[in-house]
Chains A and B, each alone.
Chain A
Amino acid sequence: MKLLSRPEELVLLAVWRLKENAYCVPIRKQLAQVTGENWSFGAIYDPLDRLEKKRLLESLLGDPTPKRGGKSKRIYKLTADGRRALLEIKSISEAMWKGVSKPALEAKK
């Protein structure tokens, strides 16, 4: 399968982690917490759209809440392909990281 870009990978993971509540606002919040960077919405819509096109994600309209001024949420869910992709990424990453230890990396520096 085609490799995902790093933001796509992160977004995909965030969606899986958030389960039922995977829509844009919490995704952004989570990514911001983990990376310490301030993600713009655009930086999340884009990978979300691409993942949806690749059929790794599917979306459905959630209920509107008063906090959103009456607008629906777009809730994202992993497809079977999406889950397979995550597994694959995980195994690729683990294979790549094998034998790489923190002290070794720090020593090279």
Chain B
Amino acid sequence: MKSHKPYRNPPKLAEWALKHIYPDKGQFTSLGDFREEYNDIATESGISKAMLWYWMQVLKSTPHFLKNKIYWSLVMFNNYIKIAFRNLAKQKIYSTINILGLSVGLAGVTLIFLFVQNELSYDRFHENAENLYRVYAIHHAEDGSIQSRSRLVTLPMGPAMEEYFPEIIYSVRANNKTATIRTNGKLFSENITLVDKPFFQAFSFPLIAGNPSSVFAQPKSMVLTEDHARKYFGSADPIGKTLTLISGQNQSDFIITGVAKQPPQNSTITFDILIDMESARSLNMDRGWRNNWGAFGWQNYVLVRNRNSGDSILKRFPSFTRLYYEPLLEKARKKSGWKGKGLPLSFGLQEITRVHLDPGVKGTPDLSSILILSGIAFIVLLVACINFTNLAISRASTRSLEVGMRKVLGAERRQLIRQFWGESLMITSIAMLAGIVLVGMALPTFNHLASKNLELEGLLQPINILALLALIAIVGIASGSYPALIMSGFRPVEIFKGKLRIGGKNLMTRALVVVQFTLSVFLIISTIIMGRQINFMLNRDPGFNKEGVIGIATQEPNAKAGNNILKLFRERLSQQQNILAITGTSVPFGDAAVFPFKKDGRTIDAYQNRVDYDFFKTLDIEVVQGRTFSPEFPTDVNGVVVNERLVKELEIDDPIGKPLEGFYMRLTIIGVVKDYNIEDFRHGIAPALHHIKPTWDIAYIYVRISPTNISETLSLMEKTWKSIQPNKPFLYGFLDEAMEAMYNKEKRWRSIVGYSSALAILIACMGIFGLTSISVDRKTKEIGIRKVLGASESQIVYMVIKEFILLVGIANIVAWPLAYYVMRILLDNYYYRISVGPQYFFLAGILSFIIAGLTTIFLAAKAAVTNPVESLRYE
């Protein structure tokens, strides 16, 4: 042995491997043996040989090592699974509560996950998605600041942009208009989408029949969706067949050249029937918009060449705008006194994938509903996770024996942590499976509430499976962390000596129960208050009588024709006994255009309504001063009826006979009516003016009918309609129903919050049920002794439930201010709102006490009536 040679360390990696394969009771003398041998070989035959030898040693022992390792971990794993299932089976209440609660919570989260994913997936299916933009208009105030952003631009803008910007491949307008389809003598009111010819080239809506580049090659071509092709032609091939399209007084036959697949639910652009803009023009469907650079009412998309095109278009948008709007600016300066230096207008581009959720542009839904929904789902899941932890804590004393036993038998803490976490992951996985079944059952209702078309199959995408696994991991680890981290640290000696004081009066358990009930009570209060607010809005007197009023759409964009229909309708029906009054408006009631009055430097937005004779009679609006429009006074076409609010805002003294100053038409005030709520009750009363200018169209006829023989009256009206408008279907609706529909969003939210508060309180109750049953179990002897010593049954019941009643009480105290604060913010969105009185809080409080009481009282009663002999004998 040549010991003068310096010592050499063997390869680190090989040594590391060896260390694991042969730990040698943790003293690693074997490593020394190997080092010695390694150096001997190195001095005798060279370092490379030594290295080879060392590695061969490692490799040779690896298979055996792995076999051993896997064998033993499988043995332990089997044991863990066995114990986990035994525990599940032994503690049926506990397992049911855990799995049921978690599955409901997970189902909620999964639903919301599907919903959010759907919201975020809008318009991503277009192959050109990254090069598609929607053009939006930015309206500026006189000082140049931005007043609003709107998705609506002008009609002539599209072709002009296509010409001006070489970066634009296609400019495509896509807008929905209502028109009538006639086939075989039957009439259908349909939603017609007017598009530019390259629509199917720019967007990825697949065609089942027809060529994307040529469906609109011929004038008067029409593309139907699958559903509408079936509606009109059944199973026959629709290509080459014709449908008659009627708009206003114009009609024309269209040839079906293509059938498109139904647009996906996550598409911003929707359509049933498509025609191209030029054909629409031949039917005069763009009357009033054509060549009008001042009328903003159209959505315009552009497909650009590449990623950089968007920026280069944006850079040159100002020069484009100046080119088309500079001449108009001068006019505007003269006419309306625009004093701004720059243009009141500029344009922007919005990526199509952002259109659905961009709150910056008017007419796009915003993210807040997603946030609220996610919050609610999180609350439900949190309540379920708390159950898991709480029940684990309460059972800790039983389970700790197992911990002690395992530790005595040589289990390391690490192994116990792994076991407990594994167990909670297993339970969470079972709950997840059950939760997915629940999601499947709840989807139809949810789709209805959220007006979505979500499918369970959506969960099968790889990314979603990963997300669900991540959810299982998070929930499993979070809810299993108490047993895993704390119980695994118990010391066997203390466990067996009974020195551990866990479970029972555990502060943590109590705090978590309070959290659960706080959230539940919060949701209950929210449900109650939202319900009250909706009822309040539905029942509040809007200042007019919405009962017994029928609205009929004239489907007539032409002013003259619309006026004529109203005239004929009135002539033929006004003598009828059951028809009390007839009038007309140019926009549906409640949807009037706003005119900004300037008064002492501030703007007063007033609703301007084109109405007709008997408007106030039809709607039962009280006249305070002067009179309403009458055919006896021909000068009334220049008259105006205002509401009290406008008189007050404009500070007109003695208004009758005075001209309405500041308005763009010269009108004389002939009457003042009582304020009424033209909008829904989110808003206050707006100033309003009414005129009967016959140059404005009549798009809606309103009829007040007597409440007797309604169906007879309706059929009479339909007959009359057919004689006047043989080419249009009779489209009518009741005004009160339309008013109620304004609160559909609120009703949906009430349902969602209502359901989730029911779920939250259900899960929380399951939790306290489990806790009570454990605590009754533990107190069996105590109860027996108390009874022997003369305690009455009611005293026993009180003893068992008083703790939970106390916790629910604390939860209420915490929840009330929280709910008050949040509900105040919510109600601030409503001009007319209920006052948040204490009764709602008391109601929710009493409800929570009753629910919690009912949950616990049966167990308590059962314990109380048990014969003490039974309870004391059990050991």
Chain A residues engaging chain B, CB cutoff 8 angstroms: 23-25, 28, 40-42, 45, 61, 64-74
B576: interface (CB < 8 Å): no
> Are B22 and A74 interface neighbours, CB within 8 A?
no
- Extra inter-chain contacts (17) besides given A23-B33, A40-B57, A71-B29, CB under 8 Å: A24-B33, A41-B34, A41-B37, A41-B57, A42-B22, A42-B57, A42-B60, A45-B22, A67-B3, A67-B35, A69-B7, A70-B32, A73-B29, A73-B33, A74-B24, A74-B30, A74-B33
> Are A68 and B36 interface neighbours, CB within 8 A?
yes
Nearest chain-B residue to A75 (Cβ)? B29
B39: interface (CB < 8 Å): yes
In the complex, chain A residues whose CB is within 8 Å of the CB of B79: none
> Are B33 and A41 interface neighbours, CB within 8 A?
yes
> Are A71 and B31 interface neighbours, CB within 8 A?
yes
CB contact under 8 A between A69 and B61, given known A24-B30, A25-B36, A28-B37: no
Q: How far is the CB of B4 from chain A (nearest CB, A)?
A: 11
Cα A73 to Cα B27 with chains together (Å): 10
In the complex, chain A residues whose CB is within 8 Å of the CB of B57: 40-42
> Are B7 and A61 interface neighbours, CB within 8 A?
no
Q: How far is the CB of B53 from chain A (nearest CB, A)?
A: 10
Nearest chain-A residue to B40 (Cβ)? A25
Provide a sorted-by-A list of 9 A–B residue pairs whose CB atoms are within 8 angstroms: A24-B30, A40-B60, A41-B33, A45-B22, A67-B36, A68-B33, A70-B32, A71-B29, A71-B35
Q: Is the interface of B mostly helix, strand, loop or mixed?
A: helix
In the complex, chain A residues whose CB is within 8 Å of the CB of B22: 42, 45
In the complex, chain A residues whose CB is within 8 Å of the CB of B33: 23-25, 41, 68, 73-74
Pick the 5 closest A-B CB pairs, nearest first: A71-B32, A68-B32, A74-B29, A24-B33, A69-B35
Cα A28 to Cα B35 with chains together (Å): 14
Q: How far is the CB of B874 from chain A (nearest CB, A)?
A: 46
Cα A11 to Cα B24 with chains together (Å): 18
> Are A72 and B35 interface neighbours, CB within 8 A?
no
Q: How far is the CB of A15 from chain B (nearest CB, A)?
A: 14
Q: Is the interface of A mostly helix, strand, loop or mixed?
A: mixed
B755: interface (CB < 8 Å): no
B28: interface (CB < 8 Å): yes
Nearest chain-A residue to B7 (Cβ)? A66
B577: interface (CB < 8 Å): no
Query: Per-residue CB proximity of B529-545 to A under 8 Å, as 1/0?
Result: 00000000000000000
Nearest chain-A residue to B65 (Cβ)? A42
Q: How far is the CB of B479 from chain A (nearest CB, A)?
A: 44
In the complex, chain B residues whose CB is within 8 Å of the CB of A69: 7, 9, 31-32, 35
> Are A25 and B60 interface neighbours, CB within 8 A?
no
In the complex, chain B residues whose CB is within 8 Å of the CB of A74: 24, 27, 29-30, 33
Cα A45 to Cα B311 with chains together (Å): 74
Cα A89 to Cα B29 with chains together (Å): 30
> Are A73 and B32 interface neighbours, CB within 8 A?
yes
In the complex, chain B residues whose CB is within 8 Å of the CB of A40: 57, 60-61
Nearest chain-A residue to B34 (Cβ)? A41
Other-chain contact of A72, B3, B29, B40, B60 (Cβ < 8 Å): B29
> Residue among B3, B28, B30, B36 with the most chain A CB within 10 A?
B36
In the complex, chain A residues whose CB is within 8 Å of the CB of B31: 69, 71
In the complex, chain B residues whose CB is within 8 Å of the CB of A42: 22, 57, 60-61
Nearest chain-B residue to A23 (Cβ)? B33
In the complex, chain A residues whose CB is within 8 Å of the CB of B40: 25
Question: Which B24-60 residues have C-beta < 8 A from chain A?
Answer: 24, 27-37, 39-40, 57, 60
Q: How far is the CB of B25 from chain A (nearest CB, A)?
A: 9
Q: How far is the CB of B367 from chain A (nearest CB, A)?
A: 62
Cα A71 to Cα B24 with chains together (Å): 12
Q: How far is the CB of A54 from chain B (nearest CB, A)?
A: 17
Cα A13 to Cα B625 with chains together (Å): 128
> Are A72 and B32 interface neighbours, CB within 8 A?
yes
In the complex, chain B residues whose CB is within 8 Å of the CB of A67: 3, 7, 35-36, 39
Nearest chain-B residue to A25 (Cβ)? B36
In the complex, chain A residues whose CB is within 8 Å of the CB of B3: 67
> Residue among B22, B30, B40 with the most chain A CB within 10 A?
B30
Q: How far is the CB of B464 from chain A (nearest CB, A)?
A: 49
In the complex, chain A residues whose CB is within 8 Å of the CB of B61: 40, 42
Nearest chain-B residue to A44 (Cβ)? B33
